[in-house]
Amino acid sequence: MVTWYRLFIKDLVCINPEVVTIHKNKVILSAGTDLGKCIVAWDSIAHHYVVVPSEGGHVDFPVHNQEEFSKESVMSERVATYPIERIILDRWSRRAMSGESIGDQELMRIFEAARWAPSAHNDQPWRFIYAHKGSATWQMFFATLSDFNKTWAKNAAVLVLLVSKKIYEWNRELPNPYYSFDAGTAWQNVALQACAMNLSVRCMADFDRDKVRQDLGIPDDVSLEVMIALGKPGKKEDLSSQLQEREYPSDRKPLEEIVFKDKWKR
């Protein structure tokens, strides 16, 4: 199966923007499930690309200035099908981080945002343990990351361990079935706030939880959820070539695949 990523090119003018999908040097036009052909041309007077629908299949870009096109052919902007708040679209998980430090005042703004997340019984089961680069705890957190995550998280100014309490505080007898769900809402607030502050932020599931639990003496009724890397934005070129290719805002499934009216659908 071929996966077509939806890429949006700056200065691209589409005849029908909702149905144009662009992948590397190919453009496909989808009307419902039908794929149609389209032609991309550089309008040298108006200074933008124009996408014109044609017949079925897909075509290579017949652009006049291939070099110029390649530069532009990374997704620069996400586009929503329906109007939503800008910050939701602008948030994405950047890996490129500069290694510069982030001050505690700035950091607290991020945790403040997390504090206002909703939770079952307003029990607020999330807890954040943070460490600045250069500290022994940062080093310990870093050592527990998977080799893959180490390749980019090495430049994180701050590593944050997000944990969640599995037993309610309002009733110490009751397990909280929503501890992980609630920690997820807190993470989303962290991500949105960090992006709004123009910081790079990405969370990681791949780390050695047993080692962190042991080193920090975290009890068994607390779940280790994710490790969060935070940093000032770095240069894409500082990432491995494999990661540079993936350093752009990803797309999402269409609404029809995730929203069902009246009934369950596979």
Ligand X SMILES: Cc1cc2nc3c(=O)[nH]c(=O)nc-3n(C[C@H](O)[C@H](O)[C@H](O)COP(=O)(O)O)c2cc1C
| 4 scored as a contact of ligand X (CB under 6 A) | no
* Least gap, CB of 80 to ligand X (angstroms): 13
Q: Classify residue 93 by burial, with Cβ atoms within 10 Å: 0-12, 13-18, 19+.
A: middle
* 246/265 with CB nearer ligand X: 246
* Least gap, CB of 249 to ligand X (angstroms): 6
Among 25, 30, 76, 93, binds ligand X (CB under 6 A): 93
* 231/249 with CB nearer ligand X: 249
* Touching ligand X, residues 176-215 (CB under 6 A): 202-206
Q: Residue for token digits 């090495």?
A: 154
* Touching ligand X, residues 245-264 (CB under 6 A): 249-250
Could you give phi then psi for residue 48, rounded to 5 degrees?
-155, 165
Partners of 167 in the β-ladder: 175
| 164 scored as a contact of ligand X (CB under 6 A) | no
Phi-psi region of 229 (alpha: psi -120 to 50; beta: other; left: phi over 0): beta
Nearby residues of 90 by Cβ (< 8 Å), 6 or more positions away:
78, 195
* 22/183 with CB nearer ligand X: 183
Partners of 204 in the β-ladder: 227
Q: How many CA atoms lie within 13 A of 137 on its CB side?
A: 14
Closest CA to 206 of 110, 141, 137: 141
| 155 scored as a contact of ligand X (CB under 6 A) | no
| 169 scored as a contact of ligand X (CB under 6 A) | no
* Touching ligand X, residues 7-66 (CB under 6 A): none
Q: At what angle do helices 136-144 and 209-216 cross, to 10 degrees?
A: 150
* 92/138 with CB nearer ligand X: 92
| 221 scored as a contact of ligand X (CB under 6 A) | no
* Touching ligand X, residues 132-151 (CB under 6 A): 149
Binding residues for ligand X, rule: CB under 6 A, are 92-93, 149, 202-206, 226, 249-250
